[in-house]
Amino acid sequence: MKNAKTALIIIDMLNDFQFKNGKILAEKSLTIAQNISKLKQYASSQHIPIIYVNDHYKLWQANLETILTHCTNEISSPILHHISPQNADYFLIKPKHSIFYGTALNILLSQLDVHTLILTGIAGNICVLFSANDAYMREYNLIVPEDCIASNADEDNTFALRMMHNVLNARICKHTELMN
């Protein structure tokens, strides 16, 4: 992973999992949270910006503390233990599925001179895929560590990875491949 012009994006991992099949996604999120945490530590050591983009849960005036308080519960606490943002990390809320829609992300990435995005988070077949599509349309290079995204159904995750690779030209790899 090169530090120049690259950012690590963490999508919707600050989550309450209070929705249909939320417990299933939480179980899968715990596994990827450990991988994202390792990737995040490496990115930080390489001075790569770390940007959380998260659902706002209809808390329109939310900041990071409000979102963390809202999301902390018995299901999410083990995940948040691994994945909570640090002071140097950026945090944006999003109103819809894409990290770009209705957010200041494109401006932030421009100011950071970022051209390559490492996309991680949930759900792989919804928010990660929609975000990858919007990033591709904005001509960002995409890297998706397959062991850092999750969907409720494994086949949906596989489909999303295939689409990101075949249609959006994303590099699909393991998180450890980026830490060399």
Looking at 3.30.230.10, 3.30.230.70, 3.40.5.90, 3.40.50.850, the CATH number of the domain 6-179 comes to 3.40.50.850
Nearest 5°: phi and psi at 116? -125, 130
Res. 59: pLDDT tops 80: no
What average pLDDT does the chain have? 94
Point out the least confidently predicted range of 54-68, 83-97, 143-157: 54-68
| pLDDT reported for residue 131 | 99
Confidence of residue 3 (pLDDT cuts 50, 70, 90): low
Q: What angle do CA 48, 33, 85 make, to 5 degrees?
A: 50
The answer to whether the beta carbons of residues 45 and 86 sit under 8 Å apart is no
pLDDT at 2 > cutoff 60: no
What's the pTM?
0.95
